[in-house]
Amino acid sequence: MCYQVDCGGGQHARVPRGGWHHHWDCCCAPGYAQRRFPTREEVIEELEEYLKQLRAETKGVEERIAELRKEG
């Protein structure tokens, strides 16, 4: 759980602040600069997860259509 006031208190990955010899800190804490651009592998992973969610949504819609046809 993140306790930074300005980040909304969500869950964030814990990352080393200032190198491995410093303490771990929240990714949204001062002193941590997030990368602007994801790697190619990260983009692929995100798109694959999105596709998985879309397929689950499609399956749900198809099931609902089938239910409605049975009722009607």
Do 28 and 40 lie in one domain? The reply is no
pLDDT for the residue numbered 1: 44
Do 57 and 72 lie in one domain? The reply is yes
Q: CA–CA separation, 39 vs 69, rounded Å? A: 45
Phi-psi region of 24 (alpha: psi -120 to 50; beta: other; left: phi over 0): beta
pLDDT for the residue numbered 27: 60
Domain that holds residue 11: 1-34
pLDDT in tens, 8-64: 555 444 444 444 444 445 566 666 677 789 999 999 999 999 999 999 999 999 999
Nearest CA to 12 among 4, 37, 50, 36?
4
pLDDT for the residue numbered 48: 98
Overall number of domains in the chain: 2
Do 20 and 9 lie in one domain? The reply is yes
List, as one string, the DSSP characters of 6-54: GGTT----EEESSSTTSPEEETTSTT-PPPSS--HHHHHHHHHHHHHHH
Backbone angles phi, psi at 38, to 5 degrees: -70, 155
